[in-house]
Amino acid sequence: MTLGLTTAGESHGPALVAILTGLPAGLELDRAQIDADLRRRQQGYGRSPRQQLEQDEVEVLAGLRHGRTLGTPLALVVRNRDHSNWTWGMNAWPPEGEPTGKGTKPVTLPRPGHADLAGVLKYAHDDVRNALERASARHTAVHVAAGAVAKALLRELGIEVAGREVEIGGATGEAEMRAAMDAAKAERDTLGGVVEVRATGLPPGLGSYASREDRLDARLAAALMGIQAVKAVEVGDGLDLARRRGSEAHDEIEPGLARRSNRAGGVEAGMTNGEELVVRAAMKPLPTLMKPLDSVDLATGEAAQALVERSDVAAVEALAVVAEAAVAWELARLAVDKFGGDAIGDLVAAHRAYLERIPWAPR
């Protein structure tokens, strides 16, 4: 059994949905912990008032009884509270009555850098909203909820995963990051940045060199590049390794199997090597600018300014939480692949037996 994750949901539709399959039975989940991660995703200095509006909370529709997984598909829901303003505009069925609320007029002003232009061309939409609603990063909320479940599973194995922002708009210190966001906001512009996710307690041997799709670094790159606005992923010293000599690039092995350095970021040949996992993701500046970029009105073919919709100045802090969830999900998937078991106790026992076989202590 491998872990599976399917999500659905539009940004201003009634709700976001995730179905998680392959989880062992008996895994204890804590609603407060899942909601805490949802809140972390919504916080951050550069976020728009929408985040205050939503106050995300998880609902569980299936797969859980009295706080423990049943070994059946786990169905999670995060409602879009903002939907109350869009009940006509985002109605699943042809709406009755006069148009009212938001989303009543077609959007025809594609934003450079968003899904808008390629999305309407690809799917033959005549309203950019039909593309942007799903392309929006709003549905990262249910990915964060799934990540919280993955972190609960990993915690049973002594593995902790944590993400943080390391750079916003080229600034690195907290005060500098805030100043960069203030300056961008004043100029009605947006920023990107870099986040870092670290994981500790990983045993050597998660992932495999046997084939491309089994490689941990390949999976991490796909998972992180799968997040909106992520344009580059780096494992360990990443790009910088290309500029060094071998003697400055690898991590020498000491008696006891500890490493002298961790330039590889805990991954060799597509497997964890027992060191801390270190992975970074770079985010481009958000495409919705309050001072819109030049575009074309798709209704007329004439030059126009791109759509302006309530939007964040930067979402790097949110990305740190979303990236943490994505990395946790991939690690949990590989842990379930390696250790298996229908019940959480089976998974924990297989992990313990493996640790007994290899001369390695968690770090």
Q: Which residues bind ligand FMN (CB under 6 A)?
A: 113-115, 135-137, 140, 227-229, 284, 286-288, 311-312, 315, 318-319, 322
- Min dist. Cβ of residue 134 to ligand FMN (A): 9
Nearer to ligand FMN, 49 or 256 (CB): 49
Nearer to ligand FMN, 191 or 315 (CB): 315
For 260, residues 6+ apart whose C-beta sits below 8 A from its C-beta are 251, 252, 253, 254
Nearest to 135 by CA among 50, 9, 306: 9
CB 91 within 8 A of CB 14: no
Nearer to ligand FMN, 157 or 319 (CB): 319
Nearer to ligand FMN, 125 or 250 (CB): 125
- Distance CA(182)–CA(176), nearest Å, equals 10
- Distance CA(56)–CA(50), nearest Å, equals 11
Nearer to ligand FMN, 237 or 312 (CB): 312
CA 184 to chain centre: 24
- Min dist. Cβ of residue 285 to ligand FMN (A): 9
- Min dist. Cβ of residue 336 to ligand FMN (A): 26
- Distance CA(77)–CA(342), nearest Å, equals 24
CB 71 within 8 A of CB 24: yes
Owner of token pair 């909601």: 35
Nearer to ligand FMN, 162 or 350 (CB): 162
- Min dist. Cβ of residue 267 to ligand FMN (A): 23
- Min dist. Cβ of residue 51 to ligand FMN (A): 9
- Distance CA(72)–CA(78), nearest Å, equals 19
- Min dist. Cβ of residue 345 to ligand FMN (A): 36
Nearest to 308 by CA among 321, 293, 298: 293
Within a 10 A sphere around the Cβ of 11, how many other Cβ atoms?
22
